[in-house]
Structure 1
């Protein structure tokens, strides 16, 4: 394990993607503890006081409550859903943040926001978001090794490093007395989160009062070149790293290098 940062280090709070508890990101995050006071969050959306609902507003409020533990402004970093929630929280309470970096966020702007609004209104979220693919997903395996073997054949996990796959299996499950492993992240909550993808954030880049950046996967089918250009036109700093939407698990070292470079730029801007 890396040497922990000093108490005076800047707090870095990390919010995970939907379906991936904070411990799934160990390969990416652990070395950052040498420089930052690191705080990966665990299973947003599972607190009974903040049930998943319209446009992730309750999830934003859950994140803001987690930040009550800090008496200084934090750096907010998040992957996918986590990145959007960090930006939403920073828009709501800018005094709590020194900056925000979103990793391949599903941030719907312009026509994408209008389309998402129509999709949800027409009850088509399961068809046009990952919700439909998540319905009925497998949530238990005879052993951790059986889970690894199963996931390695799935498209989403195919390019994970061996360590990142182990991190997901170890950090995202609990072992039962009979040796079976079951997911910690409730699949029903995962589906609900996808169904409520925010459609109200078109003005978010203009409203943010803290430095913000985005890292996009070069092969991502979410943050396409067109969407990256749109973000840049709205004043968002955009960088690229190898890999698809799950690049933090596919290329953790390259992601970490790009993230620290962007954080240096944002912290300089915030100063």
Structure 2
């Protein structure tokens, strides 16, 4: 009898949004393991060799170092910050990627890039990005139940599924000896990431030499209809998912299905 070997699944590397460690996406990512070798990154920006700095260039290099352990090209998927970093990494090292999909990325094009440059130069970047709202954010709670109850009342988390909120509470914290829980993602690093949001990527869609797609939340205040049209004019495939900027946690099943359809298109599958 002729031996048939099952090919190894393609690596799908997932890069998280600012402030949300990779394990926060468990309910969204876990079912994708039926088809891919899913590899969520933990906490970009926390390695001392890659401190947050100008235009996220060090964060891009940190991501590229993670990708160096894979022997074959990967599918790069990222949410918000993670999506932009995947595209930046693909522009620098296209041979490491099969394709890239960005989920609601803060990709500043055209006038938005000019506005970001001005905000940095004139000192009002905290008003233009979420940095100002992140300053002084709460980072500890008496226990996980108290944290969950607190977050459920906050606007950013209010529409999370129960499982997604549990994923964030469990995957985004550590428990101290006295039972208190504290955030794993350093709030100071979170602020620094927002303050250094890239302003140099206006022509990135044209520079990336791998298939590139975007999933946008229908109610996102970031990827507005105007910005979606701009991406399409630059040759980026765009698909919509119900929900706001945090749609992977609000609509995990719809996000998965739309992502799979996008990947089939980008990879040339029937």
TM range (shorter): over 0.9
- What's the offset of the Cα at 1:7? 6.5
State the secondary structure of the residue aligned to 1:229.
helix
Runs (5+) with no aligned partner, structure 1 = 1-5
Aligned to 2:267: 267
1:173-212 per-position Cα deviation (integer Å, ceiling 9, x unaligned) = 0011111100000000000000000000001001010000
- What's the offset of the Cα at 1:127? 1.2
Retained in 2: the 8 A contact 1:213–1:238? yes
TM-score, normalised by the number of residues in structure 1:
0.97
Aligned to 2:244: 244
Work out the number of aligned pairs and report it.
265
Alignment of 1:159 onto 2:164 = no
Aligned to 2:202: 202
Runs (5+) with no aligned partner, structure 2 = 1-5
Please tell me the root mean square deviation across aligned C-alpha atoms, in Å: 1.1
Aligned to 1:118: 118
Residues 141-220 of structure 1 aligned to structure 2 (within 5 Å): 141-220=141-220
CA distance in 2, matches of 1:49, 1:143: 32
CA distance in 2, matches of 1:38, 1:216: 21
TM-score, normalised by the number of residues in structure 2:
0.97
CA distance in 2, matches of 1:153, 1:125: 27
CA distance in 1, matches of 2:79, 2:99: 15
CA distance in 1, matches of 2:122, 2:80: 24
CA distance in 1, matches of 2:59, 2:123: 21
Aligned to 2:68: 68
CA distance in 1, matches of 2:210, 2:229: 20
Aligned to 1:3: none
1:77-133 per-position Cα deviation (integer Å, ceiling 9, x unaligned) = 000000000000000000000000000000000000000000011111111110000
Retained in 2: the 8 A contact 1:7–1:37? no
